Chains A and B, each alone.
Chain A
Amino acid sequence: MSDYVLELKGITKIFPGVKALNNVQFQLKPGEVHALMGENGAGKSTFIKVITGVHKAEEGEMYLFGEKVDFKGPKDAQAAGIAAVYQHPTSYPHLSVAENIFMGHEIIKHKMIQWKAMNEEANKLLKQLNADFDATAEMGTLSVAQQQMVEIAKALSTHAKIVILDEPTASLTRRESEELYRIVDQLKEEGVSIIFISHRFEDMYRLASRVTVFRDSQYIGTYDVDGITNADLIKAMVGREIKDLFPKPEVEIGEEMLRIEGLSRTGYYKNVSFNVHAGEIVGLTGLVGAGRTEVVESVCGITRPDEGKVYLEGQEVHIKQPSDAMEKGIILLPEDRQKEGLIMSWGLGRNVTLPTISKYAKNGLNDEKTERDLAKKLLEEVDTKAVDIFQPASSLSGGNQQKVVVAKALSQEMKVVIMDEPTKGVDVGAKAEIYAIMGDLAKKGYAIILISSEMPEILGMADRIIVMCNGRKTGELDRNEATQERILELAMEKSQNAGEGAAK
């Protein structure tokens, strides 16, 4: 018997053109909570998929309870006692909780599904987790936190020895997170080993005894949580001093460009006010689900706010649809490049000119020559790594796709640029380039709003930082006074009614 319940050695996973994992290792002790940390794109998710049998590694060995295993598919991993709970629950919204828990391993007798037994069993599991809903409830009516609880119950129902939690707290409120911590503690007491992926240092300190860090598809190290400082951990994750990565130019801050006052949308955000000046980069941060994207989407006319006013250069503007915002120079670079930002099967050139085609059209007919020249100019300006403007956007890497989105914005008359998670899923090298572009834009006098969940990015680039929590603005910090701790404090409700207290 080995000391570890799970041990992986020399795992290498290659996707077409990229090494997603390069010779990484990992050890999980019995009954421990092991945090797995690293930036987006560091290879954590791929690693989890190798463990759960979704991906097959090209090289490397995996030992479960000291024995070498070779999973052919997710079912093998499940049978071996490994269960994963993903950030976005992969459930059946129309079916009952009990059915979701037992999908694939229903309780069958005489070829018939035993509903009563299944419901009882499911309720037993839910009670163990202190859940406040019944096994007969419909999955789709539950909150994300409750759905996650169902996923955990599902893991329990398969008598999993190893449970993997992939960013489980990302979309939970403070109180829901506390509930999750309690469940994890309980699982630990029952002897289940847990791998916990999270961006939140809080999660790690609260739960884990050890932490393993990945960076750029490589294994960096495993540390005892008690013996490591924040700074060390960040350095391990990012791999360099923060200053080098963020070429923040000194820009003189000009007139106020955009001001929003008391913006509210029922169920999404409430009474949000802030402003941006020319040449200024305002960071908008908070946990996933805090309402950041929703606020800027309302500013850009994607959705309509219920209340509140938007002023552009001191004048109140009424924006009813995306085209209104674009005409006025408020340009959004959406969060999801592939679904909202680009048409993946189209050539780069057509993507770049999509919002502005009517500008150079003659009598309603496209002027393709002008379009091509413009696309070439803009794509070269942002230094896109591409062969020609006709290759489909899907053929580019994440970072270059983001550059195409920037070029698309540049084709328009801009005053305010809103970048929503511009470096999500982008490798470190390309990240630096995007930061450089951002700095250039600020230098040119555009007002920039940067939405980001990545703390170093916000601290490194923003002149001013606005923190949101649970649909409200909880604070505003100047570049000089901002620290990781202060932001986290504001981003997570300290108590039920911290919202009003912390707001400036």
Chain B
Amino acid sequence: MAGKSGRSINNVPESPIKHMIFSWEGILVVLFILVNIFCKGFSEYYNLENLLRQMPVYLAEVFLMIPMAYILVLGEIDISVGATVCLSATLSCMMCNTGAPFIVVILTALIVGTVCGAVNGFILTQFEELPPMIVTLATQIIFCGIAEIVLGSGGSISASNTDGFRLIGGKVGKVPYILFLVLILAVIFAVILGKSTFGRRVYAIGTNRLTAYYSGIHVKKIRFIIYTVMGTFCGLCALFLVASSYGANTTTGNGFEMDAIAMAVFGGISSTGGKGNLAGGLISAFIIVCLRVGLGQRNVHAQVILLIIGVLLICAVALPNIIENVKRAVKK
């Protein structure tokens, strides 16, 4: 049944270069450069060496941003990540204190995280009517609560054998291992999200879950995998956190969910699903890390930094909507 009119439909894509320069990622790169100049002018201690030295603590949170980007693309949210990090850090410290070999400690952290993520995934796929927000809110309290119970009244634990943690906290020259790991994982996951069939399906679910289901996509399976991987990355984050502080307490991982969401959303990943990519997320993550290091150099209080990130998060979501509203009003 060849087309009767013989109409031809164009299938040659536009050159991507023009698109790239005017995209959100383009703006972020410019911003990144500005932040670095700004921070440098701000403090005489802000230089590459200091940046690399102070980075690891903040980089641990970038691990969370990577799967969080997937969850946001799905149009969902996971608030329990901070609590999962806390529980994972606590239990891996305990495992370390039993004198187990370090590989077991690593496995403990990853498995604990994965199990927590799988719990979220299981509940959310079995009871699809439930909004992810309330489920992860509840599991947040539970995971954090379990950590509190395990930690007991003291509320903190320190790793007695720090050799292993010192090892993963190490450096090649001046560049910490964690930076390599973050970059490698980010690139792998960016490629999966942007170029693979799995990624395409994630976008399909996030844009129109029903059409995705009718098109034969295993919606449940994909959601479960993503929440579980989120948990695994929480375990990874926990390991590197312990590697920088040699211990854990009830406030470990506190507020990480906001940081991870802020990094992703500021990177142009829509909180309502279906839009954005990990390149943007990664650039925005580095902007926030640099900002934190820079502000930290100036001895800006941790609370003020949280305030700045909170404002950043709200503005990143609100500004595009406000601009849209204004545009519409002007048109009228």
Contact = CB atoms under 8 A, between A and B. Distances in A.
Contacts of A341: 211, 214
Contact of B9 (A325, A361, A389, A444): A389
Contacts of B327: none
B35 to A, nearest CB: 32
Contacts of A493: none
B218 A339 contact: no
B2 A381 contact: yes
Contacts of A389: 9-11
Interface string A425-466: 000000000001100110010000000000000000000000
Interface in A59-114: none
A440 B1 contact: yes
Contact of B214 (A340, A366, A388): A340
B130 to A, nearest CB: 18
A376 B9 contact: yes
Contacts of B18: none
Interface string A318-340: 00011101100000101000011
Contacts of A382: 1, 3
B332 interface: no
A424 B274 CA distance: 28
B13 A372 contact: yes
B215 A322 contact: yes
Contacts of B4: 383
Contact of B7 (A323, A380, A441): A380
B331 interface: no
A342 B211 contact: yes
B208 interface: yes
Interface stretch (A135-143, A350-358, A477-485): A350-358
A16 to B, nearest CB: 13
Given A357-B197, A357-B200, A390 B7 contact: no
B195 A332 contact: no
Contacts of B208: 339, 342-344
A358 B197 contact: yes
A322 B197 contact: no
B210 interface: yes
Interface residues of B, number: 33
A412 to B, nearest CB: 9
B65 interface: no
B195 A343 contact: no
Interface residues of A, number: 49
B216 interface: yes
Interface string B170-197: 0000000000000000000001100111
A334 B214 contact: yes
Contacts of A437: 1
Interface string B255-297: 0000000000000000000100000000000000000000000
Contact of A379 (B2, B9, B207): B9
A227 interface: no
Interface string B218-246: 10000000000000000000000000000
A361 B218 contact: no
Given A380-B8, A383-B4, A388-B10, A364 B211 contact: no
Contact of B211 (A323, A343, A390): A343
A343 B204 contact: yes
Contact of A384 (B9, B191, B192, B207): B9
B303 interface: no
A349 to B, nearest CB: 7
Contact of B215 (A355, A379, A386, A387): A355
A269 to B, nearest CB: 19
Contacts of B126: none
Given A339-B208, A343-B207, A361-B197, A332 B214 contact: yes
Interface in A377-402: 379-390
A383 B3 contact: yes
A343 B207 CA distance: 7
Given A340-B211, A364-B198, A385 B7 contact: yes
A346 B191 CA distance: 20
B42 interface: no
A390 B213 contact: no
Nearest to B205: A343
A1 interface: no
Contacts of B200: 350, 354, 357, 366
28 contacts: A302-B214, A321-B218, A340-B214, A341-B211, A343-B207, A343-B208, A345-B207, A348-B9, A354-B217, A355-B216, A357-B197, A357-B201, A364-B192, A366-B196, A366-B197, A373-B11, A375-B11, A376-B9, A376-B10, A376-B11, A380-B9, A382-B1, A384-B9, A386-B9, A388-B10, A388-B11, A437-B1, A441-B1
Interface of A: 302, 321-323, 325-326, 332, 334, 339-346, 348-350, 354-355, 357-358, 361, 364-366, 372-373, 375-376, 379-390, 408, 436-437, 440-441, 444
Given A332-B214, A380-B9, A388-B10, 12 more contacts: A322-B214, A339-B210, A341-B214, A354-B204, A361-B196, A372-B11, A380-B8, A381-B3, A382-B1, A383-B5, A384-B7, A384-B9
Nearest 7 CB-CB pairs, A to B? A388-B10, A440-B1, A323-B216, A376-B11, A383-B3, A372-B11, A326-B216
